[in-house]
Amino acid sequence: MSDFHQTDPIITLHRLGRAGLERIESEMVEFSKQRPIALVLPALYTEFQGEAIKGIIEELKKVKYIREIVLTLGRAKEEEFKKVKEFMSQIPYEVKIIHNEGKRIQEIYATLDRNGLWAGEDGKGRSAWIAYGYVLANGVSDAIALHDCDIVTYNREMLARLCYPVANPNIDVVFCKGFYSRITDRMHGRVTRLLMTPLLRALQKLVGPNPFLLFLDSFRYPLAGEFCMIADVARTNRIPWDWGLEVGVLAEVFRNYSPRRVCQVDIADNYEHKHQPLSAEDVQKGLMRMCVDICKSIFRTLAAEGIVLSDSFFKSLQVAYIRLAEDTMVKYEADAAINGLLFDRHEEAGAVEAFASAIQKAAEAFMEGPMVSPLIPNWNRVTSAIPGILDMLKKAVDEDNRS
């Protein structure tokens, strides 16, 4: 059970004791008649060789309010795509698989490319974006939910709670993000705990009260990969193709919608998925690359908000960040102690040092090219440039799934 504190300016929906999965699901069945929901699952073929996906599919088989599942599959050969198709056929409702390496989808990317609409490099951002395109082209769903396929602790209550605020017409929400704690015998979620929160607060110290920083800071788990939104958000928002996906999506939501129509929901008591290595010595790999991209995304959005970012600003930021991160570490140490969790102070301090260097790298990259943007154009722009693109995409996916 959690507290019931509301963090301004967004809505926070807590988990207050009574679970009531059956009640939520029966309500969802009714809501989904008015607002059909599509579930987008970005996945790599390697994830189908693990155990997590089996649990997810077992749970999804029991869900009755999802209109369609769009699995966007990356790094899969033709044979592997067929295996995934067979595996997904056990779900008793409509499932479409986007074969990102297939010749039809590759031709869609080539069409975009030659029209000056580069969809970015292969990754979760591009996969999610193309899946939104298919949902829009299909035209049967009014809401889109998305979660990863490596969640070991997945249960269908997660999905129900994630979709509920958007599906319920009485809660006027356009975008809903999940939050949870990530605990085993220790605390995980280093990037959120030790980079995002101290960085946002350090920025607020330097910049002063800023609506965007306040908006980001109001999310309990801004890097959570689970969210649900109305289909219009997918049409109007641009999506970053790099590792700054989660922050980039929040920045676009902040830009296009009122924070009063944005919420976060407690979807699980605990959440466990694949852990990434820190790779502190190489900024091109693992969590370090993710950190650099996240920082760049925040810096770009702040610059777009009219904040002047200079060399001296970044120097001050680094000092302020390290101070705040150290203070945060002390807080988490106490939190770990009272909950009987392991806490490796040295490892956490090492992570803070690595994150500080990631901030520096991001600052350097921003100063070198402040206009460089990893955002994929939104679907409104794409359909304006190539009017038949959604029809082509629908045809490509339908043919891939037929053959």
Q: Tell me which residues touch another protein (CB under 8 A).
A: 103-104, 107, 110-111, 114-115, 385-389, 391-392, 395-396, 399
Please, which residue, 30 or 399, has the CB nearer to another protein?
399
Residue (1 or 385) nearer to another protein, CB: 385
Q: Which is nearer to another protein, 90 or 403 (CB)?
A: 403
Given the complex with another protein, which of 82 and 395 has the nearer CB atom? 395
Q: Could you tell me the two tokens for 395?
A: 């045809």
Q: What 3-state class would DSSP assign to 229? A: strand
Whole-Å CA distances, 127 to 67, 80, 233: 20, 17, 16
Asked if 222 and 195 count as a contact pair (C-beta separation under 8 A), the reply is no
| Minimum distance, C-beta of residue 397 to another protein, in the bound complex (Å) | 12
Is 98 in a helix, a strand, or coil? strand
List the structure tokens of 294: 């996240």
Cβ nearer to another protein, comparing 298 with 396: 396
CB of 383 to another protein, least distance (A): 11
Strand runs (DSSP E) across 325-387, as ranges? 375-376
Q: How far is the CB of 389 from another protein (least distance, A)?
A: 8
Q: Report the distance separating Cα 125 and Cα 130, nearest Å.
A: 9
The residue (of 111 and 316) whose beta carbon lies closer to another protein is 111
State in angstroms the smallest separation of the CB of 127 from another protein. Answer: 20
User: Minimum distance between the CB of residue 233 and another protein, rounded to whole angstroms?
Assistant: 21
Strands 175-180 and 66-74: unpaired
H-type alpha helices, 115-173: 124-138, 156-167
C-beta of residue 355 within 8 angstroms of C-beta of residue 291:
yes
CB of 395 to another protein, least distance (A): 5
Judge residue 9's burial from the number of C-beta atoms within 10 Å of its C-beta, 0-12 exposed, 13-18 middle, 19 or more buried.
Answer: middle
Looking from the CA of 332 toward its CB, the CA atoms found within 13 Å total: 25
Residues in the chain: 403
